[in-house]
């Protein structure tokens, strides 16, 4: 189901009240940076200091942040030769630098700390550090690539930051949020016209279907 801003009124109200979990706060702030209607709605709900309109303050990164980010990105492409790896690393860095704040800072820090992890052909995800209070991942989906079929242990909100994807329920572009409940199963597919970057947040994890689901159960089963 694609979001209607009115359907997310409880989330915006919780944000304004300061009761929203960190991962969901990140999603709201990122969506507000992309969409002026969301920014206006949240500003109206909170009426505090124009947080989204004044968020362009420079952020100090750790020493050697640029070099460390390049190295983390470069390590993902072990199958490429040195020339191609350098080009790919530069492209990956440009993608992160083009993200809206506050997601940009979180993504750069996460890339330096752990880096992108391959899920399947054409799909990678980056675990975003948000302290306690939910899961947050940035997905990078290449054109035509498919995220493995899965459901969720709790509600999940996926915000398209760049590009777009489609699933069984519809299509989603920049600023759109895909809402999924534990009863939903879907297989997002990246649009053909470019890379899709999407921020997914939830209080529970993913439950894969098919062979991946079997492997997930085997490797996450607790010993008796």
Supply the CATH number for residue 100's domain: 2.60.120.10
Backbone angles phi, psi at 133, to 5 degrees: 110, 55
Please check whether residue 18 is in contact with residue 186, taking contact to mean a CB–CB distance below 8 angstroms: no
Q: What is the dihedral of CA 68, 74, 75, 76, to 10 degrees?
A: 130
Q: What is the pLDDT of residue 134?
A: 78
The structural domain count of the chain equals 1
Q: What is the pLDDT of residue 97?
A: 92
- The closest of 23, 27, 28 to 133, measured between CA atoms, is 23
Domain extent at residue 121:
5-220
- What pTM was computed for the model? 0.76
- The closest of 41, 39, 42 to 53, measured between CA atoms, is 39
- Prior bond of 102 cis (ω within 30°): yes
Name all contacts of 29-36 with Cβ < 8 Å and 24+ positions apart.
Answer: 29/55, 29/102, 29/103, 30/100, 30/102, 30/103, 30/159, 30/161, 30/199, 31/159, 31/175, 31/177, 33/100, 33/101, 33/103, 34/100, 34/159, 34/161, 34/174, 34/175, 35/175
Q: Tell me the DSSP string of 29-73.
A: HHHHHH-HHHHHHHHHHH-STTTTTT-----PPPTTHHHHHHHHH
Residue ranges for the chain with pLDDT beneath 70: 1-7, 46-86, 130-133, 208-224
Q: What is the pLDDT of residue 89?
A: 73
Q: What is the dihedral of CA 35, 36, 39, 40, to 10 degrees?
A: -150
CA distance 65 to 176: 31
């Amino acid at each position: 189901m694609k979001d209607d801003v009115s359907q997310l009124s409880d989330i915006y109200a919780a944000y304004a009240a300061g009761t929203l979990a960190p991962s969901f706060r990140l999603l709201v702030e990122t969506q507000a940076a992309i969409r002026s209607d969301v920014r206006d709605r949240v500003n109206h709900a909170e009426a505090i200091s124009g947080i989204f309109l004044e968020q362009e303050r420079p952020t100090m990164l750790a020493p050697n942040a640029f070099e460390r980010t390049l190295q983390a990105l470069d390590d993902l492409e072990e199958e490429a030769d040195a020339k191609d790896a350098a080009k790919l690393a530069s492209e990956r860095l440009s993608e992160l630098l083009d993200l809206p704040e506050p997601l940009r800072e979180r993504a750069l820090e996460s890339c330096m700390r752990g880096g992108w992890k391959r899920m399947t052909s054409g799909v990678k995800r980056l675990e975003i550090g948000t302290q306690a209070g939910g899961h947050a991942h940035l997905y990078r989906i290449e054109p035509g690539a498919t995220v493995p079929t899965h459901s969720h242990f709790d509600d999940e909100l996926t915000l398209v930051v760049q590009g777009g994807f489609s699933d069984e329920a519809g299509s989603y572009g920049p600023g759109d949020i895909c809402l999924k409940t534990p009863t939903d199963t879907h297989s997002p597919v990246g649009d053909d016209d470019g890379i899709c970057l999407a921020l997914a947040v939830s209080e529970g994890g993913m439950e894969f279907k098919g062979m991946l689901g079997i492997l997930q159960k085997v490797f996450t089963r607790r010993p008796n």
